[in-house]
Amino acid sequence: MTPIPSKKPCAKKPVQYLNRELSWLNFNERVLLEAGDESVPLLERLNFLGIFSNNMDEFYRVRVAMLKRLTAIKDEADKAELGYDPAKILKEIHRRSVSQRYKADAFYEEICRKLAGENIFFINESKLNEEQGNFVRQYFKETVRQFLFPIMLDRFKNFSNLHDNSIYLVIDLTHKDDPAAENLALIEIPTRHVSRFLVLPVGADKKNYVMYLDDVIRFCLADIFSVYGFTGFKAYTIKFTRDAELDIDTDVSKSFLEAVSDGLKQRKFGDTVRFVYDEAIPRKVLTGILKKFNIKKRDSLEKGGRYHNLKDLILFPRNAGTKKMQYEPMPQLEAAEFPAGVSMLDVIRKKDVLLHYPYQPFQHIIELIREASIDPAVRSIKMTIYRAAKHSAVINALINAARNGKEVIVFVEFQARFDEAANIAWAAQMQDEGIRVLPSIPGMKVHAKLLLIRRKEQNINVYYTAVGTGNPNENTTRIYTDEHLLTAKKEIAAEVNKVFHILDDQKYQRPDFKHIVVSPFGTRKFFLKRIDREIKNAEKGKPAWIVIKLNNLVDRKLVNRLYEASEAGVKIDAVVRGICTLIPGLPKKSENIRAVRIVDRFLEHSRIFVFCNDNKPEYFIGSADWMERNLDQRFEVIVPIYEPALCKQIWDILQIQLSDNVKARLISADKPNEKIAAGKHEKQIRSQTEIYRYLKTSLSEK
């Protein structure tokens, strides 16, 4: 019996690691550029500022936190094995991230000016008239006050009670009896309970005003503190970001669930990796705060403006603006294969179906599970869950299946970063409903997106399989572009069932897969073989090309082999949303590589792989990026697309994306987000709009 491979540290070359981190910043800068694009509607520009801010928070909590841990290495031998200087990388990251924040601030000011031109104004506590002041004070009393719990800092001791990535107001208070004494208080801005933005009623001036929750609290500070004899109030915003790495105890006396739960409790004690403060804060106050919170590393400090957590702009109230300030509606397209009143299982039995989110609704998958839950011939449903919606219709459908007497087996990943607590709660609820929840695997995440339905037909087990590129989450499938293959092919179903047996046993003989590709069992080797085949074909003068679409392209062996393929004459097209260390123009002989990054109204998330194979193309979709963690430290599933009609769909969509000259940017060594200029008489192609039209036309022809 072969144990599941354990997670092993892997040293990287300095340039590879540096490229990885800086490439991520290049991606986030591409998001930021949408906020600065005047062709993007104003409220959507605010949304991109929010996405940029949220991305940066995660970057610090995960990647920067890891680098800061590595700077603590004292042993010179360990440093040599590491192969790079994390301190130098941190310095460059800090320089770039500060530069991006200044650019974000400039875009924010520009958007505010544009909104003012549309009669929408941000207003702070010092600009309110009497009528507005009365409204704000009443709103504070009825809605906000109940969530405020001021802390006097001279008595405050437990720093871990403060919430990571929340924003706080530091209040510099003046007492009537001793005006010279220093009195500092801390108030968390309760954005988990109250909207960050308050839309004020339109007054006599016919203008529309929006107020930050921060300023609502500033306006009402006297209502909180005057009862204690304080007469002066000055408020400054601060925010700290903690190391979010989940340290899991290896104590064998604990179950893995207990270890993860304990790790979640310990996360709030993580080191501060970034402390952002209002640059207007007096130095004396700042010094006292840093001392109180034991923040000593100067590289963790970052000056900010009056407002932090611009990620809340993602939830900016849409009713504050007009329709022209938002993207035009793009109603989801129903899959023609599943008309009302027709059994989805009957359809899938006859032919494979490929769904494209968010152009088509994820509701089809929910309906498939619902149909299976009440079909008397269905015996079992198996599924993997990595991230579920907050109010998950998928899990409710699975619970309904269990209540209807089906055998339901679900693998819930307890180690899904930032979703650990939610997944543990879902697992407990499903177990209470009679669902068998497979235990998570220490050191290995299950990232595969699988659904397997077993139905008894003429006394024979018939399997229906769904394999996707994204999470079974009805919320994210409205904004993430993903693909989902639905098939009843026996060869695919049998091998997906093997994966579930592996997850159930957690001990196994090395599996033999002939159709699907499964990490950690040779996914890298599988793709290397296909790249090598293209190299050999190019050397023989045969057609040779590769088209890939990924979130992240990082794995050093695969990247190096792609460079070799380019040198051999293989044409390589890559659509990479995030980190891309395959840099056209970096090695001199990479002229056959073209890599683009697309950022638009939807988040590009699909993983698609197409290989020429001497003009007999092979098509694959799946959950795995080309990163070491996806290839070696996770369960991932890549599935082949066999139906010619579905292959054509994939090919047409990829060609539309590679033709994008509106939202695509070239990835290169010198210009990581170089705009693609359309020729004078060339049609402008915005790929997401064109894909929607393509699918709409395709569906109408069926």
Helix residue ranges, H only, 190-255: 213-219, 221-225
End-to-end CA distance of the chain: 50
C-alpha–C-alpha distance, residues 90 and 78, integer Å: 18
Per the listing, tokens 């009195």 go with: 183
Angle, alpha carbons 427-461-468 (nearest 5°)? 50
In this structure, what DSSP letter does residue 187 have? E
Angle between helices 86-117 and 14-35 (to 10 degrees): 10
Angle between helices 687-701 and 644-658 (to 10 degrees): 150
CA nearest 608: which of 551, 569, 665?
551
CA nearest 555: which of 443, 631, 472, 492?
631
C-alpha–C-alpha distance, residues 525 and 529, integer Å: 6
Q: Which residues of 104-128 are buried (b: 16+ CB within 10 A; e: fewer)?
A: beebbeebbeebeeeebbbbebeeb
C-alpha–C-alpha distance, residues 112 and 628, integer Å: 42
Report residue 91 CA to chain centroid gap: 25
In this structure, what DSSP letter does residue 441 have? B
Angle, alpha carbons 206-209-214 (nearest 5°)? 160
C-alpha–C-alpha distance, residues 334 and 650, integer Å: 18
C-alpha–C-alpha distance, residues 206 and 198, integer Å: 17
Indicate if 447 belongs to the active site: yes
CA nearest 236: which of 273, 275, 272, 274?
275
Angle, alpha carbons 492-496-498 (nearest 5°)? 120
Contact 453/345 with Cβ under 8 angstroms? Answer: yes
Q: How many Cβ atoms sit within 10 Å of the Cβ of residue 366?
A: 17
Which two tokens mark 292? 């109180």
Catalytic residue among 308, 364, 447, 484: 447
Q: Could you check whether the bond before residue 358 is cis, i.e. omega within 30 degrees of 0?
A: yes
Catalytic residues: 447
